[in-house]
Amino acid sequence: MSGPVPRAFVSRFHSKSKDSSEALATAAKLPEAEPVPPVTPRQRITVQDILDRRTKAGRLVAPTAAACDADMFKAPSVGKPKAKIWDHNHLSAEAIVREPCKLKAAARFLKTPGIISLGGGLPCPEYFPFSSISMKVPTPSDFHESAPTETVTINKYDASLGNTDAEYDLSIGLNYAQAHGSAQMMRFVTEHTELVHSPPYADWKTCLTVGSTGALEQTLRMLCDRDRNDAILTEEFSFSTALETAGPLGMKVVGIKMDEQGLLPESMDEILSSWNPAERGGSRKPHVLYTVPSGQNPTGATQSEQRRREVYAVAQKHDVFIVEDEPYYFLQMQDSGKPAPRNVDEFLDRLVPSLLSMDVDGRVLRMDSFSKCVVPGSRLGWITASAQVVERYIRHAEVANQGPSGFSQVILHKLLDETWGHEGYLKWLMNLSMEYTQRRDTLLAACEKFLPKEVASWSSPKAGMFFWVNLNHELHPHASTKGILDVEEEIFNSCIKRGALVARGSWFRAEQDKPPTGLFFRATFAAATPENMTEAIRRFGEAIKESYGL
Amino acid sequence: MSGPVPRAFVSRFHSKSKDSSEALATAAKLPEAEPVPPVTPRQRITVQDILDRRTKAGRLVAPTAAACDADMFKAPSVGKPKAKIWDHNHLSAEAIVREPCKLKAAARFLKTPGIISLGGGLPCPEYFPFSSISMKVPTPSDFHESAPTETVTINKYDASLGNTDAEYDLSIGLNYAQAHGSAQMMRFVTEHTELVHSPPYADWKTCLTVGSTGALEQTLRMLCDRDRNDAILTEEFSFSTALETAGPLGMKVVGIKMDEQGLLPESMDEILSSWNPAERGGSRKPHVLYTVPSGQNPTGATQSEQRRREVYAVAQKHDVFIVEDEPYYFLQMQDSGKPAPRNVDEFLDRLVPSLLSMDVDGRVLRMDSFSKCVVPGSRLGWITASAQVVERYIRHAEVANQGPSGFSQVILHKLLDETWGHEGYLKWLMNLSMEYTQRRDTLLAACEKFLPKEVASWSSPKAGMFFWVNLNHELHPHASTKGILDVEEEIFNSCIKRGALVARGSWFRAEQDKPPTGLFFRATFAAATPENMTEAIRRFGEAIKESYGL
């Protein structure tokens, strides 16, 4: 916590200090429902385990549009419970009635030896105008942009002709595929998920997505119904695009109070325990929580391990399904002065465990993405959830998009699987987290230097890309006549005039129809150069000072 | 028309010959409503016009996440009417309330000179692990797979550093983008659309899509409402994935009778004129037609120009919005014996005009795709519709997927725009249509040779990838005890056993709850080699003969 008014900042998160103490009073009653899973050291499989498993399994033979399943790539789940069934009380009307895509399902007949298919309208790769795609990529020994690169090439028939060790090629990757994505990329993300999260129930599955934006829309349509007056829970400040996704679907969004560690379990419990549809415009008691546990957008808050366990316990108590959106999970940073992790095991050990890793019930749908860790333009990510939920998700993906781009899949597979491998990718992520740590520290230093601490306060984020700056509206000289939104607009416009773009806190308010509870701005340290970031914060500081007459 | 029972085949399309004559009786009354637009030679802009326009406009400067609009790339629309407004009677509840994505909208401030953005969480391209992507592609002089290729390269900062003529690069293409896609690809598809279709109203727009599968789902959600009991019209045999898209959304699908030219306008008119919600399970009179005018999936039928004008007139009469799905548009074939077009102008002149090219009202949303013409794995296409409709579509795309993959966009742009140009791409399409003509003729010859004409009939498709084979169920020796679906299943399974996969006609029935009206199979000539295609049809013929005891 930096700046001189930390308590004010925290209480702003709670809307009003009265509410905040009420929330804390509720908290004491929390762990009644079901026992919180014990905090034990995670037992992970290792990269070597995966390499051994692959050697044993032999070459992956997965031709055009091959169906696959995460179970093909997981360790056997010995002694783990099965996920709960998310029956009609959770799934939406459209999710329940979906049937498999007949043409995709017909692919099962292609396994018949010697069969000639005149079935699906799959173009002949002869007509694909790409005989090879090459790319220059860094090697895991040095990830600096100006370091030497190696050139790797994907040919059209590398795998299909069977005369190389290759398991994937353009003739497969650029044709139609199953909606869950290629077996080749499914193997990579499944192994990666087991390596990092090792979900504690047996029948977890994965499915590639067109990125987490699309995955969220599909998930909300799968879990919520306009006709059922469904409402969803989220942080009181939440990712604006998520809010823009839910609104038009007729879902009421309910904000949970937050502190520096993100959403408050006691606030969540209080909302659910006291839910009265009549007071909530007829909305049904929420059965879905959408949360960004690490480097939350927009507040930058990161839930500690204990916080996550408490959130999970409240979800169990009220039978809430959790959508865990984790684009910034690997952008968890080192505390100032703490040395970098020495190897990927230490890197993984320092990560706050995910909700997925605590999910004994199979009540979490986790969304991962390559947008922040590789490139946003891949429009490629994946979900992990129970077999039932993933099956329904795939049925929707068959008609919503047919899965992600083949270019994205074949290129990311070449880089992550064939060139870097799991260890190399984890090294890349570790390097990235160190780069973001530096960027955060640059922005932090600029805030310390240029923002007026008399009115501004902020936390140093432990993950992600975002700084959340709180201005004390009560100290504004015209607070009595200019409301929070007016001052916000004045400072925003003044910033633009001075040549700095920051995001307005009000864009992220989960409940737009309620009066604003605080004056916030979001600044990212992801995009600009260190010099520009510093200069932009200087301009932002000038805009604040002018408005406050400092 | 081939085989000895053409009339039976046609009447099968009509369900029963009685219905068919009723439909024809209705037809005479057709052109009462509004005048059918006159058949005039299309006046197109030329490739040279576009080149001139680009020269005049100068280098396209479109940095990361630049917003754009088709109007930037179109000829001025002089004297053309504006599209009608598709108000609340057509748009769905969710489409009406969508608001612009706040974070995407903030991109407009980036135009402020000297501005530094701490706004959007866009990763720095410094961390993109691709310094270049190269690909080997054919040159427009010779498109044969074994012909010489050239290698073209996209570097990370080709355009951004401004020291080359390049207008697009990896630092732009692989970052976040607007949901309508990059300005670079938007320019290409807008120019291409004007070149081929020249829509007759002023305010037509384009928007990239994640392929037509996703575009259809978005479009149906934009136009139809479960709460409003919306129903949609389509061909009585329709693309099964489209049916699987509409069903779970609670939309009733109504099949229009067909002949060799696809849907019958008189049947469409009759359905709409006599619509009675009470007899239709409460469904509202349909206000949306989903049609595949060229090489229809599954029947292979292609609507003639006159047929399209009649369909359009019925849509005008009943105020129906048309979703024109045209993945096979450029796979229109040459009649047997007719020489190949001599140049791209002749190629374009021979194409049956699109519904979009006749759309004086702006009541058509056309879906185009690169899946069949470049690679399916691009998951990239585009829509063309009125400004109002495209704006609503983009609002949805912002939360449904954020637009197509950047890899797909940057690679297709390099190939289609920078390397081939419009003329080269049209030559590619022309070459492809000739290749498919040959493939069709191979399958046709195999059918003539191996299918028992006593019971089997078919048409030679004028476009697309599909052959539709009709078997006369009445001639089956066990017709009285084995229904249509039983015989279909028997022959399908027998085919699989013999090593041939064809698609069952019943998979494509628009109204699955009605009794089947005919016994059909779909075979594609897209995928297999000529030898394998011939062999598969031989096996298919054996399966039919066995079932019929021939």
DSSP code for A132:
E
Residues B476-532: tens digit of each pLDDT: 999 999 999 999 999 999 999 999 999 999 999 999 999 999 999 999 999 899 999
What pLDDT sits at residue B42?
Answer: 53
Do the domain assignments include residue B154?
A: no
- B389: in domain: no
Residue B520 lies in a domain: yes
Q: What is the pLDDT of residue A42?
A: 53
B364-369 vs B381-386, strand pairing mode: antiparallel
Mean pLDDT of B371-397: 98
What pLDDT is recorded for position B508? 97
State residue A74's pLDDT score: 93
The per-residue pLDDT for range A449-463, each reduced to its tens digit, is: 999 999 999 999 999
What per-residue confidence (pLDDT) applies to B378?
Answer: 98
Q: Measure the CA–CA gap between B15 and B482, rounded to whole angstroms.
A: 19
Q: In what order do the strands lie in the sheet with A466-471?
A: A456-458, A466-471, A519-524, A503-504
Q: Specify whether the CB–CB gap between B289 and B235 falls below 8 A.
A: no
Q: Exposed, middle or buried, B278 (CB in 10 Å: 0-12/13-18/19+)?
A: exposed
> How many CB pairs (< 8 A) connect A and B?
361
* ipTM computed for the complex: 0.92
Mean of pLDDT values over B69-88: 90
Residue B507 near chain A (CB below 8 Å): yes
Q: What is the pLDDT of residue B366?
A: 98
Give yes or no for residue B150 having a pLDDT over 70.
yes
Could you tell me if residue B529 is inside a domain?
Answer: yes
Residue that is written with structure tokens 């783990």 in the block: A80
Shortest distance, CA A325 to any CA of chain B (angstroms):
15
How far is it, in rounded angstroms, from Cα B19 to Cα A220?
Answer: 44
Q: Give the Cβ contact number of residue B452 at 10 Å.
A: 15
B117 inside 8 A of chain A by CB:
yes
- Could you tell me the residue range of the domain that residue B533 belongs to? 6-10+436-548
| Across A89-115, average pLDDT | 89
Distance from CA of B3 to the nearest CA of A (A): 20
Report if residue B542 sits inside a domain: yes
Chain B, window 214-273: residues with a beta carbon less than 8 angstroms from a chain A beta carbon:
214, 216-217, 226-227, 240-241, 244-245, 247-250
**Residue A311 burial (CB < 10 Å; 0-12/13-18/19+)?**
buried
Inform me whether the pLDDT recorded for A145 exceeds 70: yes
Asked if residue B277 has pLDDT above 80, the reply is yes
pLDDT at A248 over 80: yes
Residues with Cβ within 8 Å of A341's Cβ and at least 6 positions away in sequence, in order, are A334, A347, A349, A350, A430
Q: Do A402 and B112 touch (CB under 8 A)?
A: no
Helix H or strand E segment including A416:
none
What's the number of domains chain B is made of? 1
- CATH number of the CATH domain containing B513: 3.90.1150.10
The overall average pLDDT reported for chain B is 91
User: Would you state the pLDDT for residue B17?
Assistant: 36
The answer to whether B375 contacts chain A (CB < 8 Å) is: yes
B44 pLDDT tier (thresholds 50, 70, 90): confident
Torsion of CA B75, B79, B82, B83, to 10 degrees: -80
Query: Which residues 2-31 of B have a C-beta within 8 angstroms of A?
Result: none
- Chain B's closest residue to A538, CA to CA, is B116
Q: Where do we find the tokens 């009685």? A: B18
Assigned domain for B190 exists = no
Q: Is the model's pLDDT at A45 over the cut of 80? A: yes
In a domain, B97, yes or no: no
Half-sphere exposure (Cβ direction) of B407: Cα atoms closer than 13 Å: 30
- Distance of alpha carbon A287 from alpha carbon A498, whole angstroms: 45
* Per-residue confidence band for B143, with pLDDT thresholds at 50, 70 and 90: confident
Q: How confident is the model at residue A330 (pLDDT cuts 50, 70, 90)?
A: very high
Confidence of residue B141 (pLDDT cuts 50, 70, 90): confident
In a domain, B446, yes or no: yes
- pLDDT at residue B43 in the model: 67
A379, B406: Cβ pair inside 8 Å? yes
Dihedrals φ, ψ of B435, to 5°? -65, -45
Residues with Cβ within 8 Å of residue A445, at least 6 apart in sequence: A534
| Separation in Å, CA of B501 to nearest CA in chain A | 5
Q: Is the previous residue joined to B298 through a cis bond, with omega within 30 degrees of 0?
A: yes
pLDDT in tens, A505-517: 999 999 999 999 9
